[in-house]
Chain A
Amino acid sequence: MIEFLGEVVAWFTDPANWTGVNGIPNRMWEHIQMSVLATTAAAALAIPPAVYLGHRRKGGVIAVAGVNMARAIPSFAIVAISLPFSIRLGLGLGFWPTFIALFFLAVPPFFTNTYTAVAGVDDALVESGRGMGMTQPQVVRRIEIPVASPVILAAARVASVQVIATATLAALVAWGGLGRYIIDGFATQDSVQVFAGGLLVAGLAVVAELGFSAIERWWLPRGLREPSEDIARVAA
């Protein structure tokens, strides 16, 4: 075991693993790129309709059910399914099938959390906002989104960690990322490389998790950081 860990340390300190296309910096960068793109795209596409439906407090339950059904399909299956389409559409191997799979993975947490949080904003807040003369868009921007923002941020955290973990699959369809070490390691029965790849993915996921926690801590106004009594009381 000690011997194995020694080999892992040796792998990490081998200069060859820090340069070139297959070096850690490049693979890490590819992994981050893919994860950020897929998560951002999912957020951009899922949040607006979720906010709209949440604001209307209507139709969202059906939409949430639909979105959650999609969650039941394994990402691996989505990669497999999207692969032939991607090739047929001329989008090729690698990037697109992975991107599509990760996108579908990230949509449900964004949509469900956003819808639930916005629809769940205390009626008293909306009523007092409207009663003071806010227009509907002002109610959305000044009350519903800010009040829902902790839950939306939590969705971003969950989605990115899932996406980072799953982006490893990209290597299966001939794209880069940290998954390369794992997949290639399996192929060549190089367990040190598999282990090192796993460590890197886990490390990145942890960094993402910590990053979002920090954002939640520093960026959210104090009044939203803990569920206020007000909200708790009305909810009770």
Chain B
Amino acid sequence: MIELEHVSKTFPGQDVAAVGDLTFTIPEGESVVLVGPSGCGKTTTLKMINRLIEPTGGTITVAGRDVAQMEAHELRRGIGYVIQQIGLFPHRTIRDNIATVPKLLGWEKKRIQARVLELTDLVDLSEDMLTRYPSELSGGQRQRVGVARALAADPPVLLMDEPFGAVDPIVRTRLQDELVSLQARLNKTIVLVTHDIDEAIKLGDRVALLNIGGVLEQYAPPEELLRDPANAFVADFLGTDRGIKRLSLVPISQINLDPGPVLPRSAPVAEAREMMRRYQIDWAVVGGDGRIEGWFTENDIAGHDTLDRVHLLPFQTKLAATDSLQQALDAVISSHTAVAAVFDGERYLGMVTSEEISREIIE
């Protein structure tokens, strides 16, 4: 856990504070993303945690210990640090780069060796890269080495300043995904700085949205931030499409599902026609008791008395209740019927409709 209490920083020779009076807590094992416009004090805040910048006021504690009371270099050896430029040492091999902190801590050779291999695997690098130099790696590979190096001594806390800022969008997306899965396994306390709100939404358990002067405008989980922006600044920063952005964070189980135009096999065709009229559609579904067999169109029932013999089409896309509304929207848009069936395992739960999704966007 990292606690900032009334932290401030005014750089020498400046009359306005880079960070005015900042108080917030980063819970153990969570990832918190600091986001905000350029110059709002994100980097300053991050660097005050590992004392690369000394605050002019307030206190910062990491795991209950006041950082100002610790030797700066000892504090830092217990905190992983990744910066945008990565800062790999060009004169050292990848192996030696990764081993930096363990060496500073005086680990034995064997232990370092084993740890380097473990990390190489963890960040998905190949072992033959260990003898190379940083200039012999691609941007994405270097970034992975940067992360491996930061994790080398297994620090409980990881500070990252725009870690994916210098790589192209495709590599960035992959590295973000890797960080998410890494974090799912490692449960570090992560503080990550970005100015990309989408990255913040994707990577943060919580997002701290800062304004110029280090003013904390809102501190909330991404879903809450998007659903309920605290003020106009936040809403503006999130953009007009914040409703759509939120869809990726809301599971289908959160919205009302329509039971759907479901009829038993034995239902007379007239009943099917009545159902279609009610729904204003030209198709319906056969099923019942948490199962559905398939769907048919108005044309398919011509000449039948009941649905018994009607030819049924299978559902192309099946959604799970845990899928996001973004996936649901995707399915709805691309399906012929403009709805998508939701299941819990094999059990049919209902239909997602575009109306329900737009209601969620507008909310």
The reply to whether B76 and A143 contact each other, CB–CB distance below 8 Å, is no
Provide the residues of chain B in CB contact with A231, threshold 8 Å: 90
A144 to chain B, nearest CB (A): 11
Main secondary structure of the interface of A (DSSP, over half): helix
Q: How many residues of A contact B (CB 8 A)?
A: 28
Evaluate contact between A125 and B89: CB separation under 8 angstroms.
yes
Question: How long is the Cα–Cα vector from A124 to B142 in the complex, in angstroms?
Answer: 14
List residues 172-215 of chain B with CB under 8 A from any CB of chain A.
Answer: none
The answer to whether A132 touches B77, judged by C-beta atoms less than 8 angstroms apart, is yes
The verdict on B50 contacting chain A, using a C-beta distance below 8 Å, is yes
Interface size of B by Cβ–Cβ distance < 8 Å?
Answer: 30
| Closest residue on chain A to residue B73 by CB atoms | A133
Residues of chain A within 8 A (CB-CB) of B136 are 222-223
**Is residue B87 within 8 Å, beta carbon to beta carbon, of the partner chain?**
yes
Complex contacts, A142 vs chain B, CB 8 Å: 89
Decide yes or no whether B88 CB sits under 8 A from chain A.
yes
The complex places the Cα of A142 from the Cα of B99 at a distance, in Å, of 13
* CB pair A122 B87 closer than 8 Å: yes
Min Cβ gap B329→A in Å is 40
Q: For residues 27 through 86 of chain B, which have their beta carbon under 8 Å from a beta carbon of chain A?
A: 50, 52, 73-78, 81, 83, 85-86
Chain A 66-96 interface mask (CB, 8 Å, partner B; 1/0): 0000000000000000000000000000000
Q: What residues on A are CB-neighbors of B73 within 8 Å?
A: 130, 133-135
Contacts of A222 in B (CB 8 A): 133, 136
What are 23 A-B contacts defined by CB distance under 8 Å? A122-B87, A124-B86, A124-B87, A128-B86, A128-B87, A130-B52, A130-B76, A132-B76, A132-B100, A132-B101, A133-B101, A135-B73, A142-B89, A146-B89, A147-B89, A147-B90, A221-B133, A222-B136, A224-B90, A228-B133, A229-B135, A230-B86, A230-B135
The 10 closest A-B pairs by CB, nearest first: A223-B133, A128-B87, A228-B135, A133-B77, A131-B81, A124-B85, A133-B76, A124-B87, A146-B91, A133-B73
